[in-house]
């Protein structure tokens, strides 16, 4: 197992290229199952979650071929409909295969994902609405068994705008005759990207990006080449690192409008940020404390809460961060405290008393975004930090140590036993 050793404080400079979004490519990879013709995906990020999804697709019968930066998937021969516990337990997004398998072959057997580090994370919105579409759902021996090919076009008002449920239902409806309507749908840029991908294959999805998505059934799909959007969460993480170290850097390969709420919040705190068409330029800034609450898009993303907390720890004064999406997403707090942060937790709010300088320490990663917060904090902290269990980071941050080193950070990736 590897660990990161970061020596700080660092001054960053230059530019960093953001990878294509993991959270866009995971549902897009699942949507490949809808097609019976080849799909060519450009610049899939080298990440553990993406490899897990490719393994799952291969288990289902999809042929995968990699040539330079293009991954060709041939889903013409789906020979299996099982997503095993072994795979699903390592990546909840495996549940995305439920909708497309139902639509394509009329059956799916997918392990229940169970809880995870950040909360119980039920999938009732996925299952209840698939039932409303006419699917028969049985839960047995820890597996969801879903059957029925000819789904009905119905109205599906979601009780909460779940990202994953919106994506699963959108995929399930691609061949359903008539128009399926998802109301109170999630509006994240990754939802729009999935709709664009389905439409590029010949599907008919309108309204993605609003809270009402309409999917009109088509009979077949076609061969397509596609490239997903840039990773807004990765981009925001580097923006935080730039601000925390009072540095001037450019974050490239990201549409600033996908981070509008975050960038507006940072500007209201005094951040000196310039939007390019496909980049964000970060300049040295004097920041004020903040009061933030996570919300579904277009609100402040829960996936940037931990990194934002790390930033607030370095701003003198009192900040408050409230987590309103997940029930247990403060695993980074005790670890940030080891780096000298002063944070009080009350219910789902964190009260932060910021100070200008954190100090390096050994810390442990607990989940993906919590780990990113520890990394940016270590980059800014004075002294040496050792960040252990970085397999969490490898799920979602492509070449993190190399990208940080490219910005001038003193970072090494070494075996944990060294
Ligand atoms: C996706 C993202 C994840 C992000 C989250 C919220 C991917 C692969 N993952 O996760 O990085 O943190 O959106 O922006 O895109 N819920 C239910 N029942 C359901 C589904 C969800 O109660 O059937 C609850 C969850 O427990 C959670 C909230 O709704 O409290 C949001 O979950 P959801 O939007 O579904 O997140 P994911 O799609 O799992």
Over range 20-30, report the average pLDDT.
98
**Distance from the CA of 162 to the center of ligand 1, in angstroms?**
5
Residue ranges with strand state E in 204-316: 204-206, 212-216, 224-226, 248-252, 272-275, 279-283, 291-293
Element spanning 385, H or E: strand 383-388
Query: pLDDT tens for residues 97-126?
Result: 999 999 999 999 999 886 556 666 789 999
- For a mutational test of ligand 1's pocket, the pick from 99, 158, 162, i.e. the residue with the most ligand atoms closer than 8 A to its C-beta, is 162
Token output for 113: 């994902």
User: Cβ distance 251 to 230 under 8 Å?
Assistant: no
Cα 243 to Cα 315: distance, rounded to the nearest angstrom: 10
Task: Give the pLDDT confidence score for residue 120 in this predicted structure.
Answer: 65
Higher local confidence (pLDDT), 172 or 88: 172
Over range 305-326, report the average pLDDT.
97
Query: pLDDT tens for residues 119-137?
Result: 667 899 999 999 999 999 9
Question: Does the CB atom of residue 93 touch ligand 1 within 6 A?
Answer: yes
Question: Does the CB atom of residue 295 touch ligand 1 within 6 A?
Answer: no
**Distance from the CA of 360 to the center of ligand 1, in angstroms?**
33
Question: Does the CB atom of residue 164 touch ligand 1 within 6 A?
Answer: yes
Task: Give the pLDDT confidence score for residue 13 in this predicted structure.
Answer: 98
Task: Give the pLDDT confidence score for residue 328 in this predicted structure.
Answer: 81
Percentage, residues of the chain above pLDDT 90: 91
User: Residue 149 — very low, low, confident or very high, per pLDDT cuts 50/70/90?
Assistant: low
Q: In what order do the strands lie in the sheet with 224-226?
A: 63-67, 70-74, 39-42, 224-226
User: Residue 31 — very low, low, confident or very high, per pLDDT cuts 50/70/90?
Assistant: very high
Question: Does the CB atom of residue 411 touch ligand 1 within 6 A?
Answer: no
Question: Nearest to residue 309, comparing CAs of 261, 341, 286?
Answer: 341
User: Residue 90 — very low, low, confident or very high, per pLDDT cuts 50/70/90?
Assistant: confident
Which atom of ligand 1 is closest in space to residue 167's alpha carbon? Answer: 38
Question: What DSSP character marks residue 16?
Answer: E
Cα 114 to Cα 136: distance, rounded to the nearest angstrom: 21
Task: Give the pLDDT confidence score for residue 116 in this predicted structure.
Answer: 59
Which atom of ligand 1 is closest in space to residue 119's alpha carbon? Answer: 26
The count of other CB atoms within 10 Å of the CB of residue 67 is: 8
Cα 190 to Cα 230: distance, rounded to the nearest angstrom: 10
Query: pLDDT tens for residues 333-375?
Result: 999 999 999 999 999 999 999 998 999 999 999 888 999 999 9
**Distance from the CA of 161 to the center of ligand 1, in angstroms?**
9
Cα 134 to Cα 23: distance, rounded to the nearest angstrom: 28
Higher local confidence (pLDDT), 367 or 26: 26
Burial class of residue 417 (count of CB atoms within 10 Å of its CB; 0-12, 13-18, 19+): exposed
Which atom of ligand 1 is closest in space to residue 162's alpha carbon? Answer: 34
Which atom of ligand 1 is closest in space to residue 128's alpha carbon? Answer: 23
Task: Give the pLDDT confidence score for residue 113 in this predicted structure.
Answer: 83
Question: Nearest to residue 215, comparing CAs of 200, 199, 226, 204?
Answer: 204
Nearest residue CA, atom 37 of ligand 1?
A: 164
User: Residue 231 — very low, low, confident or very high, per pLDDT cuts 50/70/90?
Assistant: very high
Query: pLDDT tens for residues 262-297?
Result: 999 999 999 999 999 999 999 999 999 999 999 999
Token output for 186: 């999630």
298: preceding bond cis by omega (within 30 degrees): yes
Nearest residue CA, atom 25 of ligand 1?
A: 121
Residue 92 has pLDDT above 80, yes or no: yes
Percentage, residues of the chain above pLDDT 70: 98
Question: Does the CB atom of residue 25 touch ligand 1 within 6 A?
Answer: no
116 is catalytic: yes
Question: Does the CB atom of residue 187 touch ligand 1 within 6 A?
Answer: no
Query: pLDDT tens for residues 188-203?
Result: 999 999 999 999 999 9
Cα 207 to Cα 215: distance, rounded to the nearest angstrom: 9
Question: Does the CB atom of residue 165 touch ligand 1 within 6 A?
Answer: yes
Over range 36-63, report the average pLDDT.
97
Mean pLDDT of the chain: 95
């Amino acid at each position: 197992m590897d660990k990161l050793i970061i020596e700080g404080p660092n001054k960053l400079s230059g530019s960093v290229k953001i990878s294509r979004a993991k959270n866009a490519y995971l549902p897009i990879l699942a949507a490949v199952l809808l097609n019976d013709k080849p799909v060519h995906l450009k610049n899939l990020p080298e990440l553990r979650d993406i490899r897990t999804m490719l393994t799952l697709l291969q288990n289902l019968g999809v042929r995968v071929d990699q040539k330079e930066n293009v991954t060709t998937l041939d889903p013409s021969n789906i020979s299996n409909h099982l997503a095993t516990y072994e795979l699903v337990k390592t990546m909840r997004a495996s549940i995305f295969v439920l909708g497309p398998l139902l639509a394509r072959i009329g059956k799916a057997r997918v392990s229940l994902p169970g809880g995870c580090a950040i909360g119980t994370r039920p999938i009732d919105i996925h299952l209840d609405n698939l039932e409303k579409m006419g699917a028969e759902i049985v839960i047995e021996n820890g597996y969801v068994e879903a059957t029925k090919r000819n789904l009905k076009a119905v109205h599906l008002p979601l009780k909460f705008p779940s990202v994953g449920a919106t994506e699963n239902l959108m995929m399930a409806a691609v061949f359903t005759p008539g128009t399926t309507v998802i109301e109170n749908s999630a509006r994240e840029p990754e939802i729009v990207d999935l709709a664009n991908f389905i439409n590029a294959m010949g599907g008919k999805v309108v309204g993605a990006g609003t809270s009402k998505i309409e999917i009109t059934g088509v009979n077949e799909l076609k061969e397509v080449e596609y490239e997903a959007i840039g990773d807004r969460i990765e981009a925001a993480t580097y923006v935080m690192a730039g601000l925390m170290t009072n540095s001037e850097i450019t974050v490239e390969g990201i549409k600033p409008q996908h981070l509008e709420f975050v960038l507006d919040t940072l500007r209201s705190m005094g951040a000196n940020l310039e939007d390019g068409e496909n980049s964000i330029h970060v300049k040295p800034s004097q920041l004020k404390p903040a009061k933030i609450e996570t919300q579904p898009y277009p609100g402040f993303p829960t996936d940037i809460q931990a990194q934002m907390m790390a930033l607030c720890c370095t701003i003198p004064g009192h900040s408050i961060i409230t987590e309103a999406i997940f029930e247990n997403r403060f695993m980074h707090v005790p670890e940030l405290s080891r780096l000298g942060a002063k944070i009080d937790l009350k219910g789902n709010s964190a009260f932060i008393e910021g100070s200008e300088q954190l100090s390096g320490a050994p810390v442990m990663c607990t989940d993906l975004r919590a780990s990113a917060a520890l990394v940016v904090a270590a980059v800014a902290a004075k002294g040496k930090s050792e960040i252990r269990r970085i397999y969490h980071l490898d799920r979602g941050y492509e070449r993190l140590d190399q990208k940080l080193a490219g910005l001038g950070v003193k970072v090494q990736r070494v075996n944990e036993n060294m």
